[in-house]
Amino acid sequence: MSSPVPTLVALLHGPDQPGLVARVSGWIFERGGNILHADQHRDMEAGVFFQRVEWVPANGNASADTAAFQAFAASLGMNARVASSAQRPRVAVFVSKFDHCFHDLVLRHRAGDFVGDLVAVISNHPDLAPAAAAYGLPFYLIPVTAADKAAAEARQLALLRELQVDLVVLARYMQVLSADFLEKCGGPVINIHHSFLPAFAGGKPYHQAAARGVKLIGATAHYATAILDDGPIIQQDVARVTHRHDVDDLIRKGRDLEKSVLAQAVRWHLENRVLVYGHKTVVFD
């Protein structure tokens, strides 16, 4: 069976101006490329244009088109990021003791749901080591305490560099990453928070929700930033609850939300469907 022809995906944004869609598609046509999918959005208030376009470059010449398209986008005053399907992102999953998101991600990965490779499971506890071994995944135990947090993060950063990790996924990793770690890790970090942010940020959100008597609980997948639970949101979902549901009921319902929301966010990111600008995202789903 022949290998699939590599495609390119460009995410671009910048000041809106007439003819952008035509100029982008024209550039691809003139170079002999074939557009597979294109979508765009305009922020009416900010006057910003966003586009995701995927195409097959002529003669599979992905590397040449990548550099050329970035230069072309710059000539339009646009910021552009171009990715090739031939380069599968390398993913590391950070876990603690909760295992529901971990198992869900691994099983989806094994089923071929993600266009990336899971190269490491990194944890501050040994609890999930047997499960990782059963899946045939490398497991790295790096304990973290208040006294040695900086040293532990330095070991994590060294491991990420060694493994050439492109994306870190926090699958209910119960540690707050420092601003220094986020700056040096070399790629985005996706976190799952077990509430409908910005409500109930921080610890024990289901307990907070139960105390407030909410009628909806949620889960939020977002990019991690130096401010806790405040990064650009990728995906959210909710479930209805009533006065009859106690904290355990909320936690049980919430686990289903956490799994699906995190998986969707990871999938969209790996497929280059998420464009971050300011404190927001545009998701070309």
> Sign of the CA dihedral 203, 206, 211, 213?
positive
Tell me how far the alpha carbon of residue 255 is from its chain's centroid.
19
- Which distant-in-sequence residues (6+ apart) come within 8 Å of 228 by Cβ? 176, 201, 202
Beta bridge partners of 161: none
- Residues whose CB falls within 8 Å of the CB of residue 240, separated by 6 or more in sequence, listed in order: 215, 216
Judge whether 228 and 220 are in contact, CB under 8 Å. no
Active-site residue (options: 229, 237, 249, 256): 229
Strand pairing report for 189-193 and 48-56: unpaired
The amino acid that residue 16 corresponds to is D
229 is catalytic: yes
Residues near 60 by Cβ (< 8 Å), separated by ≥ 6? 5, 6
Q: Return the active site residues.
A: 229
